[in-house]
Amino acid sequence: MWRAVRNADGESDVGFRTDWRREFAVRASSMISRTWVGPLGGLLLAVCAGSLCAWAHTPLPWMIGPLFALAGARLAGVPVAAPPGARYVGQWIIGSALGLYFTPTVVRQVALFAPWMVLAGVYALATGVVCGWMLAWLARVDRRTAFFASVPGGATEMSILAERFGARTDLVVVAQSLRIVLVVSLIPFLYTWIDVHGADPYVQGAREFSWLGLAQLMALTALGGVALHRFRFPNGWVIGALCVSLPLTALEINFSTLPAWLSNVGQLLIGCALGSRFERDFLSRAPRFLVAVTVTVVLAMALASLFALLLAWAMPAHPATTVLAMAPGGIAEMSITAKVLQLGVPVVTAFHVMRMVLLVSTTGLLYRLATTWRAKRARRINDNEGLR
């Protein structure tokens, strides 16, 4: 029990007890607010925004609506947040859905595009170098920060490489997040504006819905997501789920179709995760840098679209499909766009997976080789000047 404290006049003083209780209540309320109120408010806001966008027939309503709603609320100082694990759960659902398109026929067709996928990955890295040089010049930041901020890999993976090589990780994370948001926002609206949509010949391997089959499929893909995430594989939840559902579909082991409402849930959770990356001071943190990133992202999209048109002619494939396949967005976001617009889901998914693997596995090595070459070249020039 708490004892009363006697003051100098010998009177009982329980003020400390009251203060302790008040302080405990304030801290508990703050903790509950951060733990439950923010994510719950964010989820309710996302559902309302997604429903409104679906009613208004906007492109990708269940991802775009939550994204802009949460981003706008957080920029305005409203303490909303994405539900815990929203990004992972959303990626798990989308990865499970994407694998259902890889029927035996589709796998054979996509395998023929493998050389073009590798070439697209190399081009994406070259585009990152060009945009990095432009970003360093426009934003007046060091070249290593600009480079890792411009390579279209995952935000987490590029920030880890940036820290390893001494770049500014805060700017890299901001640039990578803004890149995803810009690409996800611009391409669907642009496609809708010019009335681009397809009659995708690719359909899910499973033709019938089964609650038991769906539960079995999601349990198996969850194991794949957990395994790759545990080993810190980039985009582990979407790739892990894809690595399970894809071979099952290719072997014609079909548990169930994935209902549209579950796909919408995945889109909503990814939209929440993207919108929650914005903080109140985001726009005022480094305005020149943000403007420069926006310019370079638009440049990257233009360069990617130009190469995509060449790919469409060479493969051949639908130009709108190859533009999505080359777009500097994320795997889940661009694949969702292809799925909703019926534009070559397996092709877009395969291109983005190949690009992600190539960029994450080679960016650090290539940067180290480039810096070593530059250092040797600088020493050689200094030695030659010393001999004169």
- Regarding predicted confidence, which is higher, 41 or 387? 41
The amino acid sitting at 363 is T
Please list the alpha-helical segments (H only) found in the chain.
15-32, 38-55, 61-75, 86-99, 104-111, 114-139, 143-150, 155-164, 169-193, 211-230, 236-250, 260-275, 282-285, 287-314, 319-326, 331-341, 345-387
Q: Does the structure show a pLDDT above 70 at 280?
A: yes
pLDDT digits (tens, 9 = 90+) for 94-114: 989 988 988 898 888 888 999
Residue 36 DSSP one-character state: I
Per domain, the residue ranges of the chain are 85-374
pLDDT digits (tens, 9 = 90+) for 130-169: 999 999 999 999 988 999 999 987 777 788 788 888 888 8
- Could you give the CA distance from residue 46 to residue 54 in angstroms, rounded to a whole number? 12
Residue 21 — very low, low, confident or very high, per pLDDT cuts 50/70/90?
Answer: low
Per-residue pLDDT at 198: 62
Residue 2 — very low, low, confident or very high, per pLDDT cuts 50/70/90?
Answer: very low
Q: What percent of the chain has pLDDT over 70?
A: 87
Per-residue pLDDT at 27: 56
Which stretch of 8-12, 43-47, 294-298 has the lowest confidence by average pLDDT? 8-12
Q: Does the structure show a pLDDT above 90 at 247?
A: yes
Cα 258 to chain centroid, rounded: 22
> What is the pLDDT averaged over residues 61-90?
90
Q: What percent of the chain has pLDDT over 90?
A: 36
With b for 16 or more beta-carbon neighbours within 10 A and e for fewer, the 85-109 pattern comes to ebbbbbbbbbbbbbbbbbbeebbeb
Instruction: Record the pTM.
Output: 0.80
> What is the pLDDT averaged over residues 227-251?
89
Residue 31 — very low, low, confident or very high, per pLDDT cuts 50/70/90?
Answer: low
